Amino acid sequence: MLPREFDGGRLRRLRPADLLAFQAYRALPECGRYQGWVPMPESEALAFLREMEAAPLFTPGQWVQLGIAESLSDRLIGDIGLHLAGDGASGEVGFTLAPSAQGRGIAGRAVREAVDVLFALTRATHVDGVADARNLPSLRLLVRLGFLLVETRPALFRGEACVEEVYRLQRDARPWGRGEPTSPR
Ligand SMILES: CC(C)(COP(=O)(O)OP(=O)(O)OC[C@H]1O[C@@H](n2cnc3c(N)ncnc32)[C@H](O)[C@@H]1OP(=O)(O)O)[C@@H](O)C(=O)NCCC(=O)NCCS
């Protein structure tokens, strides 16, 4: 199922050798502003990368984080979190791309691959993307992939009142087709 190649990048497992790149973009305020995570100390980040290198796809009630890498260099440029609900019936996706790689459609194509992996390995009927209403690049990404707005709700994020938008993509409504791999690499 992994890695999965796409135009301009690769969705693959995170690994300890990604540490420097992972820490570099996760330390940027613009990458973490609307995220559930905060930058980790190096030892914690290394343990996280080790854990994610081998984490099962998928455990109900758990997040798993995958890496986005440049095609040629295999350098880590972002990551995607996938969550399977406790009852296994739905998923959620979250995403981060280093600013230097943004604006080329790489994040969108990586999210598309990640969604295909989730649907291929689970019985989830839909996957949600939840973003702060001010996070326009994220909302544009979700809309571009065919996610539809299903809920707008007030939320408290890091002590600040905000509005969250929930976008949803049904398993059978993927605009790019079902996407099950023909030849896993
Ligand atoms: C959300 C985030 C990943 C979006 O990155 P991105 O590069 O803008 O996303 P995409 O891969 O969808 O690329 C779309 C952009 O590339 C441009 N583009 C260029 N070539 C393209 C192509 N072939 N296909 C698609 N888009 C293309 C689009 O026009 C668009 O730019 P625009 O938004 O200025 O119109 C990025 O802003 C980010 O990491 N933000 C911080 C983390 C975060 O807040 N995550 C959300 C929490 S869930």
Q: What is the pLDDT of residues 135-173, one digit of tens each?
A: 999 999 999 999 999 999 999 998 899 999 999 999 999
Domain that holds residue 108: 4-173
* Percent of residues, the chain, with pLDDT higher than 90: 92
Quick check: is 179 in a domain? no
Quick check: is 48 in a domain? yes
Total-model pTM: 0.95
Mean pLDDT of 108-130: 98
The verdict on the CB of residue 102 being under 6 Å from ligand 1 is: yes
Lowest mean pLDDT of 30-44, 77-91, 96-110, 113-127, name the range.
Answer: 30-44
| Residue to mutate (ligand 1; options 28, 66, 93, 102; most atoms within 8 A of CB) | 102
Helix axes of 106-121 and 136-144: crossing angle, nearest 10 degrees: 60
Please check the confidence at residue 118 and state whether its pLDDT lies above 60: yes
The verdict on the CB of residue 25 being under 6 Å from ligand 1 is: no
3-class DSSP string for 162-175: EEEEEEEEEHHHCC
CB atoms within 10 A of CB 1: 14
Quick check: is 14 in a domain? yes
Question: 109 C-alpha to center of ligand 1: Å?
Answer: 10
**DSSP SS3 for 40:** coil
39 within 8 A of 159, measured Cβ to Cβ: no
Please check the confidence at residue 38 and state whether its pLDDT lies above 50: yes
Please check the confidence at residue 22 and state whether its pLDDT lies above 80: yes
Q: Which of the 8 DSSP states describes residue 18?
A: G
Q: What is the pLDDT of residues 57-69, one digit of tens each?
A: 999 999 999 999 9
Please check the confidence at residue 73 and state whether its pLDDT lies above 90: yes
Quick check: is 100 in a domain? yes
Q: Which atom of ligand 1 is nearest to the CA of 34?
A: 44
Mean pLDDT of 175-179: 84
Quick check: is 108 in a domain? yes
Quick check: is 79 in a domain? yes
The Cβ-side half-sphere exposure at 101, using a 13 Å CA radius, reads 24
Quick check: is 184 in a domain? no
- Strand intervals (E) in the chain: 4-6, 9-13, 63-70, 76-84, 90-97, 126-132, 148-157, 160-170
Q: How many domains does the chain have?
A: 1
Quick check: is 182 in a domain? no
Q: Output the domain CATH number for residue 113.
A: 3.40.630.30
